[in-house]
Each structure stands twice: as structure tokens, then as C-alpha cells.
Amino acid sequence: MNIAKLKQAETQFLDRYPGGFLHPDLQAISKKHKMDQMIESAQQNFSKSKFRDAWSITENMTKVISRSSMVSMFEKPKFRDAIKVLPEKELKSLSNGLKNFLHGNQQKGFETINDVLRPLKLAKWSLVTIIPNYYYPHTEVFVKPTTAKGVIEYFELEDLTYKPAPTWEFYQGYRDAVLDMKNQVNPSIAPNNAAFGGFLMVSMNS
């Protein structure tokens, strides 16, 4: 990791936005993303006690994904339509996968979700990582392909090679790298991992 580039980006960001994400301009952007509401919705709908009915879990997955400003407008209807006709066995597998990701064996959950979505051509980084990012906004990361590729190159993250098909190995490595970077900057530019991702994206484009 190029620490010098990270610290330079931090300085430039705070010069431009004193107070970090408390700056009025960034507060206005944050409101558009409705981060607080999305976090609250995810934490209410996907608490461990809610995983009793696969149909309601997958329905709530659709709702959260549909309302997310971070998921592509092209992916939202495809996910919604696929869930509507998904056989009960796959619905249960998808629900169990999310339960494991959030409350159990994360790797098993991640891979189960991918196994269900892959035949539907929906095994996309955004669809796999958005709900965990909302549920655990300080420990899980949202993988946006263009941002992830840019972060790896710009900040010179070693031993990380982005691939379009989601893998646990990359997710774990990318998450660890992002959390490491976040711990080395002013907390005002990392109120949650999604905001920190925004900082990284702005830094690469400035």
C-alpha cells in the first residue's frame, strides 16, 4: 500500500471538505444515499431472529437492493424478477447463505449466495456485498468493480487481483486492505465503510 498517496489524498480531501463528511456539501450527498435508513432497514430485516421464513428474507433482500442508491439500475429489476420465480429450494439456499454471511460462517454464506445467483447470471459483486455492507457498516465493504480496480491500482495494493466473478479470497483481501487504510486516516472521512469508499473514489478522480 502506498501510504504517502493515502495521506496526500486525506490532506487534499480535508482541505476541500473541512470536517470531512460533516461538511455541508457531503451531508447533502449523504442524504441522497439515505445511508442511515438503509442501515436501519437492513439491521431490522436481517437480524438473526428473522431468519425463519426464506420467502420473507428474500423479499426483503429485493426491497433493500431495489432501494439502494449504490446498486446499478440495470441489476435491480433483474434481481427482483429472478427472485419472483426462484424455486423454493433455491430461495431457502439464498436465505441460508445470507444468514451464514451475517451470523455464521461468512465464507460458506458468501459462496452459497454465489452458487444460487450464478445460474441466474446475477453473481455480481454489488448484489453479493450490498446487504452485508448495510448490516455491518463498519466491518464489511461494498465492492463496486470500477472503484475496487481503481483503488488497487492507485493506492498500489499488493497481492490483490480483481476478477469480475466474486470470490471469497478477493473479498477477504480487499476488505482487510480497506479496513487497514481506513484505520490510518482521520475518522471524519470514514464514518462508515461506504463513506470511506466515497472518499477513495473522489481521491482517485481528483
As a whole number of angstroms, the distance between CA 101 and CA 174 comes to 16
As a whole number of angstroms, the distance between CA 175 and CA 13 comes to 22
**pLDDT at 166 (0 to 100):** 96
Q: Using 50, 70 and 90 to split pLDDT, how confident is the model at 35?
A: confident
Closest CA to 116 of 81, 87, 149: 87
Q: Residue 204 pLDDT > 90, yes or no? A: no
pLDDT in tens, 51-67: 999 999 999 999 999 99
Q: Using 50, 70 and 90 to split pLDDT, how confident is the model at 46?
A: very high
As a whole number of angstroms, the distance between CA 55 and CA 187 comes to 39
Query: Any idea where the domains of the chain sit in the sequence?
Result: 3-33+139-205, 37-135
As a whole number of angstroms, the distance between CA 83 and CA 85 comes to 5
Contact 2, 203 (CB under 8 A): no
Q: Residue 206 pLDDT > 70, yes or no? A: no
As a whole number of angstroms, the distance between CA 53 and CA 96 comes to 10
